Copies of this chain bind each other. A is one copy, B any other.
Amino acid sequence: MILIQFLRHFFGNYSPKDQKLIAAIKQITGKKPSNLNLFKLAFAHTSSAKENFEGFKESNERLEYLGDAVLGMIVAEYLFKRFPYKDEGFLTEIRSRIVSRESLNQLARKIGLDKLVVYDTKRKTALSFKYVYGDAMEAFIGAVFLDKGFKFCRTFIIKNLLDAHLDLNQIISNDTNYKSKLIEWAQRNGKTVRFEMVDEKGSQHQKQFKIQVLLSNEIISSGLGFSKKNAEQDAARKACEVLSI
């Protein structure tokens, strides 16, 4: 098996389909993959997964879990160094916008991953397919990390994804008003929303507020911030997440 891979590597004895996949990966990362199977797995959506000899389903979900963590860390470090005077609240918020499912879905399409994902359309359901490309983006990052190591993966993410495709200024200024979003949703659904301050800590000059969101009198989330407005936004954002708004 190793010998076959070795021969294939040197004599290019890949099937035309595999050769196409190798070229596509090189196009995206700048390097040919060492272990093509990792990338094949990254593109295997659950719907197309087959069981292996132990009855374990091989799909890209494990790689997605790994890629999510790798991406989260590299984006965290990138923002940490790029914004030396911003507090962790800012860094956390911008990071969550960059790695959001919507943002990764777009990114996946931009680099052409949507053409590589394999899924079974017969088993298509709205829930599992909404973010199929964003999920493949994470799995792809997991594969790059395992195949080429941390340093290569970091450079790939920063140069080929963040610098090449994301407009950081736009992401920062795109301040979704979660409070309005939540209130509008509640009105449409005949519910009431109330924001309630539950804690204040810190000195006069550096107070931190904790605010809860009550939906028809039930606590559904809480948020922190150095101003009441920011704590409300944070709590409202979490409420939107919980309610899948």
Smallest beta-carbon distance A241→chain B, Å: 10
| Contact call A56/B85, Cβ cutoff below 8 A | yes
Contact among B92, B127, B216 with A210 in the assembled complex (CB-CB below 8 Å): B127
How many chain-A residues does the 8 Å CB contact rule pick out? 50
CA distance A54 to B61 in the complex (A): 45
Q: Is the interface of A mostly helix, strand, loop or mixed?
A: helix
Interface code A203-245, partner B: CB below 8 Å = 1, 0 otherwise?
A: 1001010100001101111100000000000000000001110
Residues of B within 8 A of A145 (CB): 77
Complex Cα distance A186/B208, Å?
29
A116 sits at the interface (CB 8 A):
no
**Contact string against B for A residues 188-212, beta-carbon threshold 8 Å, 1 for contact and 0 otherwise:** 0001000000010111001010100
Contacts of A54 in B (CB 8 A): 85
Q: Which of B73, B222, B242 contacts A220 (CB 8 A)?
A: B242
Asked if A218 and B215 sit within 8 Å, CB to CB, the answer is: yes
* Set of chain B residues within 8 Å of A33, measured between Cβ atoms: none
| Chain B residues in 8 Å Cβ range of A203 | 123
Inter-chain contacts of A199 with B (CB < 8 A) = 125, 127
Per-residue B-contact encoding for A29-65, CB less than 8 Å = 1, 0 else: 0000000000000000011010000101100011011
- Which residues of B are found within 8 Å of A46, using beta-carbon distances? 202, 206
B66 close to A77 (CB less than 8 A): yes
Given the known interface contacts A73-B72, A127-B210, A202-B46, the answer about A80 and B57 at a Cβ–Cβ threshold of 8 Å is: no
Residues of B contacting A72 with CB < 8 Å?
A: 69, 72-73
Interface residues of A in 4-45 (CB under 8 A from B): none
Q: Is the Cβ of A64 less than 8 Å from the Cβ of B76?
A: no
Q: For the complex, what is the distance from the CA of A73 to the CA of B218, rounded to whole Å?
A: 34
What B residues does A49 contact at CB under 8 A? 206
Q: List 5 A-B contacts (CB under 8 A).
A: A57-B206, A66-B76, A69-B75, A125-B201, A242-B242
